[in-house]
Amino acid sequence: MNSLRKLLFTLLLVLASGMAGAQGVVTRDAMTHFFDANMGDLRAELADAKAAGKKGILLMYEQEGCPACLYMKQNVLNRSDVQALYRKHFVNFTIDLFGSVPLQDFKGRDITEKAFAAEAKVRATPTFAFHDLNGTEVVRITGAVRDVAEFKLLAEFVASGAYRNRSFAEHRQLLLKKGG
pLDDT tens-digit readout, 119-136: 999 999 999 999 999 999
pLDDT tens-digit readout, 25-46: 899 999 999 999 988 999 999 9
Q: Which residue ranges make up each domain of the chain?
A: 2-178
Matching CATH number, 2-178, of 3.60.20.30, 2.70.40.10, 3.90.1150.10, 3.40.30.10: 3.40.30.10
The pLDDT of residue 63: 97
Helices (H), 23-162: 30-33, 42-51, 67-75, 80-89, 113-119, 148-160
Cis peptide before 126 (omega within 30 of 0): yes
The pLDDT of residue 176: 81
Its pTM stands at: 0.84
* Dihedral sign computed on CA atoms, order 136, 139, 142, 143: negative
Q: How far is the C-alpha of 48 from the C-alpha of 46, rounded, in Å?
A: 5
Whole-number average pLDDT of the chain: 89
